[in-house]
Amino acid sequence: MSSAHTSIELRSDNSAGVAPEILEAMVEANVGSAMAYGGDQLTARLTALVRDVFEHPEATVYPVGSGTAANALALSAMTPPWGAVLCHETAHIMQNEAGATSMFSAGAIMRGLGGEDFMVDADLLSEDLELFGWNDPHHSQPSVLSLTIPSDYGTVTPPKEVARLTDVARRWGLKTHVDGARFANAVAALGCAPADLTWRSGVDMLSFGAIKNGGASCDAIVCFDPELSEPLMYRLKRAGHVASKMRFQSAQLIRYLTDGLWLDLAGRSNAAMKVIAEGLGELGFDVINRPDVNIVFVRAAEDRIAAMEEAGLVFYRIAPGVFRFVTSFQTSIDDAHEVVRRLRTL
Ligand SMILES: Cc1ncc(COP(=O)(O)O)c(C=O)c1O
């Protein structure tokens, strides 16, 4: 348990270390030599495992070096250069990726939509597409719907709603992508099958996060549409995202997906956040989001925020009077109770 003098890490799940099981798997992969660029046996095993976990016999999986690469490259294979990717106005692809999707797609734009709780609203999407100026060369044509699950504000869209959204998208000829940088946290929170939150609900491609949840150096793109898989492969190579020693990426993802480790790690960060969020509520803090997973945004007076920093809580200030806590698989339940204890003593 952390004492009042030790700091407690709440900046980001990106600040956490690597799950020991995953490090071990990388060491185990470090024997002898293997075919480069994904021609190795571990990468073949990864594909089989992903097909098993997602219950999809044709799914393909491509390890990449970051969540931004996963999003931008997945989307670039789904949209023409004159396309528009519709997403929530708070989506990471629109706000925090420096236009990576526009660069890799040779010009597609992101267009932000509204929706309560930081998630795209199916009715607003439908209305937007109905009123859109189709076939007008002045406007980038809607080509992809990108959902962030969980959202950047830690809210989770359940499978039924995903299906409603992809239904609208499909009616207008749009493909659907999911930014799942924290996909494990969403599946752990919902207790659903990964297939239900993706292809069974109409999702064509998934950016599957691992780094924020105990991975060392790779996320992955999981493609459920065989027609999109081949163009994606060439785009990955052109962007420098086909690792020559892919077996070390595949080893991480195999261990991540074996014996439910990914859901166990995500369950830990979700559980720690539950304790902290309940504490924040009891202490009368103004919580901005519904903390379905491991992220909470809070409004507080500046002097209260400064006192939290002095009490050893390490977190990001998002805007004047707004801070964010993010737990990780390394945040223990004891840590979470200690956070609440320190908040209580302010
Ligand atoms: C929702 C979401 N998507 C994508 C990313 C991008 O991941 P990376 O920083 O590995 O590029 C992040 C990172 O914080 C994120 O929160």
Residue 98 contacts residue 122 (beta carbons within 8 Å): no
Judge if the beta carbon of residue 146 lies within 6 A of ligand 1. no
pLDDT digits (tens, 9 = 90+) for 267-310: 999 999 999 999 999 999 999 999 999 999 999 999 999 999 99
- Ligand 1: residue whose CA is nearest its atom 6: 67
Alpha helices by DSSP H, listed for the chain, are 20-29, 41-53, 67-76, 92-95, 100-104, 122-131, 159-171, 183-190, 226-238, 246-257, 261-282, 302-310, 333-344
Judge if the beta carbon of residue 211 lies within 6 A of ligand 1. yes
Give the CA count within 13 Å in the CB-facing half-sphere of 141: 14
CA of 198 to the centre of ligand 1 (A): 19
Average pLDDT score over residue span 10-18:
98
CA of 179 to the centre of ligand 1 (A): 8
- Ligand 1: residue whose CA is nearest its atom 7: 67
- Ligand 1: residue whose CA is nearest its atom 8: 67
Question: What local confidence, expressed as pLDDT, does residue 5 receive?
Answer: 64
Judge if the beta carbon of residue 13 lies within 6 A of ligand 1. no
Judge if the beta carbon of residue 252 lies within 6 A of ligand 1. no
Judge if the beta carbon of residue 179 lies within 6 A of ligand 1. yes
Residue 105 contacts residue 76 (beta carbons within 8 Å): yes
Judge if the beta carbon of residue 67 lies within 6 A of ligand 1. yes
Residue 317 dihedral angles phi and psi, to the nearest 5°: -85, 125
Question: What local confidence, expressed as pLDDT, does residue 4 receive?
Answer: 52
pLDDT digits (tens, 9 = 90+) for 323-341: 999 999 999 999 999 999 9
pLDDT digits (tens, 9 = 90+) for 67-94: 999 999 999 999 999 999 999 999 999 9
- Rounded Cα distance, 270 and 190, in Å: 11
Tell me what the pLDDT averaged over the chain comes to: 97
Judge if the beta carbon of residue 66 lies within 6 A of ligand 1. yes
Please list, in sequence order, all residues whose beta carbon lies within 8 angstroms of the beta carbon of residue 51, skipping any fewer than 6 positions away.
57, 58, 59
- Nearest atom in ligand 1 to the alpha carbon of residue 148 is 1
pLDDT digits (tens, 9 = 90+) for 36-55: 999 999 999 999 999 999 99
pLDDT digits (tens, 9 = 90+) for 109-158: 999 999 999 999 999 999 999 999 999 999 999 999 999 999 999 999 99
CA of 4 to the centre of ligand 1 (A): 31
Nearest to 178 by CA among 154, 153, 160, 157: 157
- Rounded Cα distance, 113 and 71, in Å: 18
| Bond preceding residue 150 cis, omega within 30 of 0 | yes
Residue found under tokens 């420096």: 98
CA of 136 to the centre of ligand 1 (A): 33
Question: What local confidence, expressed as pLDDT, does residue 40 receive?
Answer: 98
CA of 97 to the centre of ligand 1 (A): 8
pLDDT at 3 over 70: no
Question: What local confidence, expressed as pLDDT, does residue 1 receive?
Answer: 46
Percent of the chain with pLDDT over 70: 99
Nearest to 77 by CA among 224, 271, 195, 201: 224
pLDDT at 164 over 90: yes
Judge if the beta carbon of residue 152 lies within 6 A of ligand 1. yes
Confidence of residue 2 (pLDDT cuts 50, 70, 90): very low
Please list, in sequence order, all residues whose beta carbon lies within 8 angstroms of the beta carbon of residue 316, skipping any fewer than 6 positions away.
11, 12, 323, 324
- Nearest atom in ligand 1 to the alpha carbon of residue 150 is 1
CA of 92 to the centre of ligand 1 (A): 7
Question: What local confidence, expressed as pLDDT, does residue 135 receive?
Answer: 96
Distances (CA, A) of 318 to 31, 48, 304, 321, 327: 45, 41, 15, 8, 16
Q: Which helix (H) or strand (E) covers residue 220, if one does?
A: strand 219-223
Mutate to test the pocket of ligand 1, among 11, 179, 217 (most ligand atoms within 8 A of CB): 179
CA of 301 to the centre of ligand 1 (A): 28
